[in-house]
């Protein structure tokens, strides 16, 4: 490992904003948490590779689809939260549930990976402040305002805006999130929602897994006029590694594949939401068919091989975000186990040192790399705690 990078990761381990391991545990293993102390087939994430990647804190995403009925989404999200707590309980020498900046520092001092929780989509709140507060008491530290569908109170990047970003209920939910110490996450929301939230908030916001729209014009990326507001807010954009977000070439290939699928009259297959295990029953697992498994697409795929995103692509997004938002307002949010492919060199959670080496080769200093890896997010956690009027985190004997 590059000596500078090794020093950076000792001083400021990675605080990654988004990892979908809980969803994959549901989809592939019926929420069984055993075996994570070794490389586990079909996953991007396990304890040895987290250690190799210099990860010191992970926001585990507790994602459920945004087209679920809201009461059903609440139940499924509770199952995801339970999976994170069970995972930490199964590996007490390696993982520790964390809610505060002090918890993160304590975990590092004890040689553990701090495990934080983030809800990916406001549908999981069922438009209820009571549900929000209950999740906060279970350790949830951020809520992404939407996923890929609008809620009744906030607009998603994946649909036409319906409430001009946020309506009165949305503004009330955002204020309550900050009052109880839950971070407002603006990944997945429409630009109009980003601006509407920034007009309301009094504490830093985050983008848990988004990249720069000026580098690749994908709807999930953040426009420059929003990045420019982060310095005034104190927030952080955690740049993600998803190939379709970071590479214009990969994005164009996916668009062309979809067009060919429609032209051939084939159904566009989405990832199914797997059934959860019920008492005494573990459902059988079956993933969606992949393009390579559909013979009708064989000729097109042979003539149009999928391009690869690279570490260079990701570094370009990081540098653009730094140039527009400032070096104090950038971080990392890989989206591991939430995407089927990743850039070359970043195929799993052991890859962060290679990305940092690329940035070091571009002239980044140790102090600036430390801000990127964890320093900026640790500051955001601390500031959000300081301004919260009634922080609602589970009690800890250490606090």
Selecting among 44, 123, 209, 329, the annotated active-site residue is 209
238 touches 244 (CB < 8 A): no
CA angle 395, 77, 166 (to 5 degrees): 95
Residue (of 350, 353, 360, 369) closest to 12 by Cα position: 369
Task: Give yes or no: 348 in active site.
Answer: no
Selecting among 313, 335, 337, 370, the annotated active-site residue is 335
Residue with tokens 């492919």: 341
Task: Give yes or no: 188 in active site.
Answer: yes
Selecting among 94, 103, 120, 370, the annotated active-site residue is 120
Selecting among 94, 103, 123, 147, the annotated active-site residue is 147
Strand partners, 125: none
Residue with tokens 């992970």: 58
Selecting among 20, 46, 103, 185, the annotated active-site residue is 20
Task: Give yes or no: 120 in active site.
Answer: yes
236 touches 226 (CB < 8 A): no
Task: Give yes or no: 195 in active site.
Answer: no
Selecting among 44, 94, 103, 188, the annotated active-site residue is 188
Determine how many CB atoms are found less than 10 A away from the CB of residue 349.
28
Using DSSP bridges, classify how beta strands 206-207 and 236-239 pair: parallel, antiparallel or unpaired.
Answer: parallel
Task: Give yes or no: 218 in active site.
Answer: no
- Cα separation, 17 vs 356, whole angstroms: 16
Hey, what long-range contacts does 130-135 have (CB within 8 A, 24 or more apart)?
Answer: 131/74, 132/173, 132/176, 132/177, 132/180, 132/182, 133/176, 133/180, 133/392, 135/77, 135/81, 135/182
Q: Give the list of residues 6+ apart from residue 307 with CB closer than 8 angstroms, or none.
A: 247, 249, 250, 253
Cα–Cα distances in angstroms (integers) from residue 146 to residues 90, 123, 151, in the given order = 31, 7, 7
Cα–Cα distances in angstroms (integers) from residue 68 to residues 140, 156, 309, in the given order = 20, 15, 32
Using DSSP bridges, classify how beta strands 140-144 and 183-185 pair: parallel, antiparallel or unpaired.
Answer: parallel
Cα–Cα distances in angstroms (integers) from residue 118 to residues 59, 208, 220, in the given order = 6, 9, 18
Selecting among 16, 18, 337, 370, the annotated active-site residue is 18
What is the set of active-site residues?
18, 20, 120, 147, 188, 209, 335
């Amino acid at each position: 490992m590059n000596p500078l990078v090794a020093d950076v990761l000792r001083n400021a381990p990675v605080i990654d904003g988004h990892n979908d391991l809980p969803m994959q545990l549901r989809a592939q293993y019926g929420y069984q948490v055993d075996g994570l102390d070794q490389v586990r087939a079909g996953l991007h994430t396990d304890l040895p590779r987290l250690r190799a990647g210099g990860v010191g804190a992970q926001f585990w995403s507790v994602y459920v689809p945004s087209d679920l009925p809201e009461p059903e989404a609440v139940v499924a999200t509770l199952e995801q939260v339970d999976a994170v707590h069970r995972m930490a309980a199964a590996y007490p020498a390696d993982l520790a549930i964390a809610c505060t900046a002090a918890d993160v520092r304590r975990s590092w001092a004890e040689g553990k990976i701090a495990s934080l929780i983030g809800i990916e989509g406001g549908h999981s709140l069922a438009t209820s402040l009571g549900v929000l507060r209950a999740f906060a008491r279970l350790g949830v530290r951020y809520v992404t305002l939407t996923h890929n569908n609008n809620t009744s109170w906030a607009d998603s990047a994946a649909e036409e805006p319906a409430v001009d970003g946020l309506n009165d209920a949305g503004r009330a939910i955002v204020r309550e999130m900050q009052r109880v110490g839950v971070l407002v996450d603006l990944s997945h929301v429409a630009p109009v929602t980003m601006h509407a939230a920034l007009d309301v908030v009094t504490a830093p916001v985050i983008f848990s897994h988004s990249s720069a729209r000026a580098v690749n014009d994908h709807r999930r990326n953040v426009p420059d006029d929003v990045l420019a507001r982060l310095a005034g807010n104190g927030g952080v954009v955690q740049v993600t590694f998803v190939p379709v977000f970071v590479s214009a070439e990969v994005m164009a290939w996916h668009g062309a594949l979809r067009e060919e699928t429609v032209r051939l009259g084939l159904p566009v297959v989405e990832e199914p939401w797997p059934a959860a295990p019920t008492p005494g029953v573990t459902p059988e697992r079956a993933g969606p068919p992949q393009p390579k498994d559909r013979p009708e697409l064989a000729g097109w795929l042979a003539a149009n091989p999928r391009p690869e995103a690279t570490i260079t692509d990701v570094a370009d997004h990081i540098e653009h975000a730094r140039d527009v938002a400032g070096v104090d307002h950038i971080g990392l949010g890989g989206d591991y186990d939430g995407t089927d492919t990743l850039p070359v060199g970043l195929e799993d959670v052991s890859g962060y040192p290679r990305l940092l080496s690329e940035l070091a080769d571009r002239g980044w200093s140790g102090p600036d790399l430390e801000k990127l890896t964890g320093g900026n997010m640790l500051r955001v956690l601390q500031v959000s705690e300081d301004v919260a009027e009634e922080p609602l985190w589970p009690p800890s004997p250490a606090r």
